[in-house]
Every structure is written in C-alpha cells, then in structure tokens.
Amino acid sequence: MVAAGLPMLIDRGGSTWAQDMLDEFGVEAIGAVPIKVDDQLVGIVLAHWVETTPPPVLGEALTERLWGLAGLAGVALDNSRLLDEIRRQDSHDALTGLPNRALFEARLESALGEVDREGAQVAVLFCNVSRLKRINDSLGHGAGDELLRQVAGRLSAAVVREGDTVARYSGDEFVVLLPGVGDSDAEDVAARVRSSLTAPMRVGGEEVFVDLAIGFAIADAAPLAGPHDRRGLSQRLIERAYEDMHRVRAEARGLVHLEQSPERLRVETELRGAVGRGEFRVHLQPQIDLASGRVVAVEALARWYHPEMGLVSPGLFVPIAEDSGIIEEIGEYILREASRVVAGWREQGMDLELAVNVSAVQLNKPDFAELVHKVLMESGLPCDRLVVEVTESQVMSHVAAGNGNLHRLRELGVGISVDDFGTGYSSLAQLRRLPVTEVKVDQAFTAQLTDEGSSAFVAGIVGLGQGLGLRVVAEGVETPAQLQALQDMGCHRAQGYLLGRPAEPAAVLDALLAGTPVPASVAV
C-alpha cells in the first residue's frame, strides 16, 4: 500500500504479519488508505467492520469513502502543520532560526515570575556584532546574512544549558537569557561567547573576523504584583543590558562616558567643518634607520586645535570622527597637506618617506586607492615614498571587505604598514597573503622591553618580519635601553620621544637640518 499509494484490504488470508496485526487489534479485517499532503505520505487511515462481516474485496463505493476520509485527514494535518509553521514564524527569526524578540521577552517575563516565587536571579546578555555594515557594503547582504547565521550558531553552541535562550533581537543584536544566573556566572558566559568568535568565519569567499560588545544586567529577587510588573521589569532589564553593552563598546574605543552624552554630541558637532575652518594641522614625527642612525621617514599625525577646547586629544576625536564618517574629510586633508610638505622637502634635497594613518572607513571606500594616487600626482610626491598605516584589526577586516584597495595601492608602489602589530589576530598565513611591506611593533610592547618575556615577544615579531621580507618599525621608543634592545634584535627602524617628538613641519625641518632629533647613541 505504501509503495503503490493505493487503498487495500488486510484480512485473515494475508501474511503472518497481517494476521498478527489483526490479532493485536482484535478484528477480522482492516481497510487501509494512505494520507498524502503535497504528494508526501503523512499517515494512514485504518477502518474495520464492527457490526457487519468484512467484504472479500474493497468495492468502488467503499474505496471512495476511504479516499474521502484520507482527504479530510490530509487537510486537517496540513492545516495543523501550517498552523505550527505560522506559530514558529511568528516566534522565531527567519534568517537564523533563533527565537525572535517577542518570544525572548515572553520567556524573560516567565523567568522573572520564577524570580518572584523562588527568589532566584535572572541574567540578560545584550550582544552587538561588529563590522556587519562594512561586510554588507563590501561583500553584499548575502554575505552579511551568512555571517549572522554563523554568529547565531556559535552563540548557541557557547550557551549550553537547556533552559537558556539565545535570540536575535534586531539586525546586528543578539540577546541571551540565563535563568538562575548571577554576576560571576554571567561574566563566565560572556567570556565563553567572546571566545567562540575569536576564530575567523568564511563568508563570501573571504575570512572575516568579528567580535561582540557584550553587556549584561541581573534581576535579583523582588516582589512583583503581577504580569504587568514583570513586563515593565523585563524591559528595564533589557535596557540596562543594552546600556552596559554601550559602556563596554565605548571603553574599547576610548570613549568612556562620552557615548550618547552631551560632550560627545558637542565634539561631533564641532568636528563638522573643522577642516574647512582651518582648525586641523599636520604634525610630523621622525623615523630613524637603526643601522645608519639617519632620519629616513616621518609619520603624519592629525592635530585638532579648537578655538575654545584647545588641543583636542586624538584618542577623543578620532573614534567619534570614524563613527560619524567625518574621518574621510580629516584623513584626506592630512594626506594632502603631508604629501605637499614632504614633496617640497624633496625638492630641497631631503628625500624622506611619508607614513600616513588610514582609518577603516577610508580603506573601505571603493575609490580610496584612486584618491591616494590623485593626491600624490597633484603634490608631486612619488608613490614609492608613501606608506599607508592600517591597524592590525583593520587590515584583517579589509581582507573581509575585499574591495582591492590594498592591492591597488601596492601596485602603485605605495607601501603598506600593519600598525599596532601583535594586538590582534594576524597569523603568518594571513600576512603572507596580504600586500604588506612593513609591520610596526605596538608601543605597549616597546615600553616593556626590559621585561624578559616582552623582549622575547618583540624579538619574535622582528624575526617574523625578517623571515617574510618585511620591514619592522618599533613605536614608542623612550629610553636608551629600549633603543639598544631593538638594535640588538636587528629591528630596522624606530620612532618615539627619545628620537624626536611630533611637531609642526617647520620645527621638524629645522631640527632635521640641525641634526638635533638624533641622539649620539643612535649613530653608527
């Protein structure tokens, strides 16, 4: 019957299996007809005779009645399946398959009811995914969707208790409900979630690194009058976790107490038009070749002189400029002005390289390489005298973005430097795939060169650079001992207050001509 898909009569004249089944039911014969939905077998209708003797064969009328029963059963089952699917779609995210916001909030209210009855705690984690917009813009929304699916999978794997809930709250936000969990356990779960995202994800044919800003809030035992109170408390708990997430993200960006504050708003407002008002200036800091003791390059640094706030720290305005997109205007101005200055020095016989920091916002613009080429042509600075510096995390995200800017810049002859090397997730294999010409040792490692472990770490970076044919530059050199350690390791270049502080171009030029930035200990 299953194979043929047709009604059949099972009676005592059948197989041993059929007779055993009839004995099990206590009947003499059964009429059977398959139930199908969309041509798929979903069940079987069984009918037996109670007051009459079973016929020797199923007649046309009986067969038609059995088909009618199967049809009604099929409609009922299909409606039930559709209803279950509708209910699931109403309570689950279509992209990730995770519970959605409505189901999460319902479960949170239920968990808060347990808090009221049993005095337990409830924790909520609020997670924000980094770089989703950049990946959507560069690789397409299909890649962004795949990234979210993989993040959802890793979150679910990291949160392993049966009673916990991982849900997608909005576009790039996930939430986690942890019944019976206090502060320390919530921190452990958050650490486990972060750890689950350290390995790269492959989307759109590229390896992508993402991380999460995670905040959490705890609900302690408190008397609740009823469902209305639980609903209000659940919203406040989510809001507290959301605010804690913003605090964590702000601290990571050096914007403590400025995220969503009047001070931050003022900085962003004043940044707009600051370049046009002439408030930005270029400062230059020398780089020394450790083999010869000569100044061979200068790094361009942005300085903002506000008429009321005075000199504003780059650690304050740069993250805000990146968030708001104003960094594009600032970055282009610094590139143009520094290129003009160094090209002018070159005409006077001082041939130096120029290093310019580039933000991820600039790097991910499709026409960035063309803009750099245009600026160099206008200033007269040769392409091979420019080095663009990108942080380790930015260059790895650029691999994900895949718009080709790094490769196009390298084809022009522009050098590519990985700034703050050692602070991210770069691997030997990834560096070998990138058009990198230089790595810069982060100043935090240079500052600890007297420590045996840190010395070994820096020596490892120098050795890695030499093995890959990359130039190694150490930042933040402030003592003769640090300088000597770098020379002993075979580091190629260094910069820092010991060798020359950042200053306006005219002051740097005067010092270079006088030879004052270079101490005697560097000369060979």
Section 450-457 average pLDDT: 68
More confident residue, 161 or 386: 386
More confident residue, 321 or 355: 355
Q: Where are the alpha helices (DSSP H) in 119-200?
A: 132-139, 141-158, 183-196
Give the integer Cα–Cα distance in Å for 124 and 93.
Answer: 19
- Which homologous superfamily does the CATH classification assign to the domain defined by 262-513? EAL domain (3.20.20.450)
Q: Do domains 101-252 and 262-513 have the same CATH topology?
A: no
**Is the pLDDT reported for residue 14 higher than 80?**
no
Other Cβ atoms within 10 Å of 278 Cβ, number: 8
**Is the pLDDT reported for residue 524 higher than 50?**
no
Section 141-148 average pLDDT: 88
Cα angle 59, 60, 62; round to 5: 65
- Most confident range, picked from 17-21, 353-357, 364-368, 452-456: 353-357
More confident residue, 312 or 253: 312
**Is the pLDDT reported for residue 130 higher than 70?**
yes
Section 352-359 average pLDDT: 95
The overall average pLDDT reported for the chain is: 82
Band of residue 256 on the pLDDT scale cut at 50, 70, 90 = very low
**Is the pLDDT reported for residue 102 higher than 90?**
no
**Is the pLDDT reported for residue 427 higher than 80?**
no
More confident residue, 362 or 79: 362
- β-pairing, 471-474 with 438-441? parallel
User: Model pTM greater than 0.75?
Assistant: no
Under CATH, which architecture does the 101-252 domain have?
2-Layer Sandwich (3.30)
Q: Of 234, 333, 248, which Cα lies nearest the Cα of 282? A: 333
Interior/surface letters 51-63, b for 16+ CB within 10 angstroms, e for the rest:
eeebeeebeeebb
Judged by DSSP in three states, 159 sits in: coil
In the numeric block, which tokens belong to residue 11? 């009676």
Of 285-289, 426-430, 497-501, 505-509, the poorest mean pLDDT is in: 426-430
Section 121-137 average pLDDT: 82
Q: Of 169, 257, 259, 250, which Cα lies nearest the Cα of 213? A: 250
**Is the pLDDT reported for residue 115 higher than 70?**
no
CA-CA-CA-CA dihedral for 150, 433, 424, 205, to nearest 10: -10
Section 58-68 average pLDDT: 79
C-alpha distance across the termini of the chain, in Å: 95
Band of residue 371 on the pLDDT scale cut at 50, 70, 90 = very high
Cα angle 447, 310, 314; round to 5: 40
**Is the pLDDT reported for residue 123 higher than 70?**
yes
SS3 content of the chain, % helix, strand, coil (to 5): 50, 20, 30
What pLDDT score was predicted for residue 62?
A: 79
**Where do the structural domains in the chain lie, given as residue ranges?**
8-91, 101-252, 262-513
Domain 8-91 bears CATH identifier 3.40.50.1000: no
What pLDDT score was predicted for residue 518?
A: 38
Section 47-66 average pLDDT: 79
What pLDDT score was predicted for residue 226?
A: 57
Cα angle 343, 344, 350; round to 5: 80
Give the integer Cα–Cα distance in Å for 283 and 504.
Answer: 5
**Is the pLDDT reported for residue 345 higher than 90?**
yes
Section 496-514 average pLDDT: 90
**Is the pLDDT reported for residue 64 higher than 90?**
no
Section 352-379 average pLDDT: 92
What pLDDT score was predicted for residue 255?
A: 45
- Most confident range, picked from 94-108, 134-148, 186-200, 275-289: 275-289
Q: Which amino acid is at 200?
A: P
Band of residue 365 on the pLDDT scale cut at 50, 70, 90 = confident
Band of residue 341 on the pLDDT scale cut at 50, 70, 90 = very high
What pLDDT score was predicted for residue 420?
A: 72
What pLDDT score was predicted for residue 373?
A: 97
- Most confident range, picked from 102-116, 173-187, 211-225, 393-407: 173-187
Section 131-156 average pLDDT: 84
Q: How far apart, in Å, are the Cα atoms of 177 and each of 84, 105, 187, 241?
A: 24, 9, 13, 11
Band of residue 295 on the pLDDT scale cut at 50, 70, 90 = very high
Band of residue 494 on the pLDDT scale cut at 50, 70, 90 = very high
**Is the pLDDT reported for residue 85 higher than 60?**
no
**Is the pLDDT reported for residue 338 higher than 80?**
yes
What pLDDT score was predicted for residue 425?
A: 44
